[in-house]
Structure 1
């Protein structure tokens, strides 16, 4: 996606509308949260500290990250709030969903953020950046959390009933393209698979991982499609013929993946009690870029900081001043 300069929270209206479908039968807003807990699985878009103590280039617990966040840098890859900081507030939670890296015990009952920057559906995705927690590892952490919740709640049946009322959001796949398939010097996937075949490989693995999540108690799941990563500053700098036009080769491959992901949602909804919804992340970011003024944001085709003024391929350096 193109870089979005944020000075405050942002949430696509369509994303919010679709997301809240999961809680539409729970009645009007009230002092207590509309759902008992919220669990998050994703990458740098919402990582809020899980990578802080990992040996990795994909960390953000230093300025200029967090310059607009109360208390300063936390590990969020943004100047302020992420979308999953906004959603809990709208659902009635009294604070942010904390990272799993520093959450144990009773605090697990309100939900946890398992997201990890550079993570992907495939194990090797993002390895050139160092440590990260792929989706399989995030699911393993979730299962550990569930076991602790079983102990706290007094049994598996009670925990299963509790979890069935919670919201889960999962948004994976961006790095499987940016930090895998379209990085041929480091990964062989683009030589091994056509975009259609790679999308099949990803969605088959993703489907199995989502079934693992279902088998561990998840019932209300928002599955977020991949955005327009062919419009990201790093890809514009490396692949765009004019440095401005989005890279159609990448966006086209993303479109194939997202289309197959909709089919996965339909299959998962055949499971007993499952309520999966597909969030059109691609369309949301397209709408933001076309109608940025309506969202109160400005959109540019270069990174806000990092190594290389225009490509933003490497994260912001500590205490680096963002580009104007």
Structure 2
């Protein structure tokens, strides 16, 4: 190699190293330090174990495929989407519950769930099953932020709060429980009015966490509510079929939520609010389960699979299926771990600009 070739090689390698170093520095600076979660049973990793409520999943068959076959309080046979998101971002494979006294603030610094099964965007929804309201979840977040400052110092706490990924997975109970089953809000709101009310509540919640320092925020839309096994079962007009009116409600609400996301991105300084199309993800699995490796998308694995959720799954434990991986749903309302992992991939794709 001539001296000229050596010089060129050195210059090229120097440029390559600068690019790699700059890229590595950017990745380190942009790394997500924690996943912070608000929501309902689709995101509750065990908070309801520590409050007085019937909405619990801390008994078999829940957790039958979780590490150690432990029923942690997650409404699934295994992990939830937020757990898979955390793992994919290089964080712990399970997001701890804030109300679990066994978790120190140092453990919670890399991820925390404030979610409570039975909660909703409407605080009255949470009162039906004595869940933690969304308003109280945000108060817990304020408390968490103060604890972080005391334990980690202002600089580290500010970094965690400002760079974390925030996930809101909530809203189904507002329609299924509050508006349809227990018509607490039907006496006050028409359906379009209630949708607008819920979107307003979502806006208040996002603005509240943004004011506390959150920037990367993901809002999950509603799934096909009418195609949940329980909704098929109680569809009196066409038993066994999806309730298309309930699906229409979900689509209408999701349309409003998308508009809210656009508005928030325009108005909140530094905000990166992303809508997660959960409806499309689950609809695809339900319509063509075989394309995703499932055999059944009509009923759940737990019990008969048609009506059981919560404590009813425990009562019918002996009837539960042997392999939940074959089912889109684990109980009559909640997806299986495999389906949740697909939802998690959707969340990650929606946040693909995040560098890890």
Shorter-chain TM band: 0.7 to 0.9
* Higher percent of residues as helix: 2
Distance in 2, Cα, partners of 1:153 & 1:288 = 43
Identify the residue that residue 62 of structure 1 maps to in structure 2: 59
Does the 8 Å contact 1:62/1:318 carry over to 2? no
CA-based RMSD of the aligned residues comes to 2.6
User: Counterpart in 1 of 2:178?
Assistant: 180
Q: 1 CA distance for matches of 2:315 and 2:25?
A: 44
Give, in whole Å, the separation in 2 of the partners of 1:27 and 1:243.
56
Deviations 1:242-295 (A, max 9, x none): 322211111111111111111111111121110000000111111111232232
> 1: distance between equivalents of 2:270 and 2:158?
12
Change beyond 3 A, Cα 1:90–1:37: same
Unaligned 5+ segments in structure 2 are: 1-22, 322-356
1:85 aligns with 2:80: no
CA 1:64–1:34 in 2, change beyond 3 Å: closer, same or farther?
same
Q: CA deviation at 1:226?
A: 0.7
State the aligned residue count: 295
Equivalent residue number for residue 42 of structure 1: 39
> Which one of 16, 37, 53 corresponds to residue 50 of structure 2?
53
The alignment's TM-score, normalised by the length of structure 2, stands at 0.76
1:113 and 2:113 matched: yes
The counterpart of 1:282, out of the listed 279, 298, 311, is: 279
Contact 1:33/1:91 (8 A) holds in 2: no
Query: Which of residues 204, 210, 224 in structure 1 aligns to 2:200?
Result: 204
After TM superposition, the score normalised by the length of structure 1 is 0.83
- Whole-angstrom distance in 2 between the partners of 1:191 and 1:239: 22
Match of 1:258 in 2: 254
Unpaired stretches in structure 1, ≥5 consecutive residues: 1-25
- Once residues 63 and 31 of structure 1 are traced to their aligned partners in structure 2, the CA distance between those partners, rounded to angstroms, is 41
The equivalent of 2:142 in structure 1 is 143
Larger Rg: 2
SS of 2:144's equivalent in the other structure is helix
What is the rounded CA distance, in whole Å, between the counterparts of 1:287 and 1:309 in structure 2? Answer: 20
Q: Is the 8 A contact 2:62 2:71 kept in 1?
A: yes
Q: For residues 208 and 235 of structure 1, what CA distance do their matches in structure 2 show?
A: 30
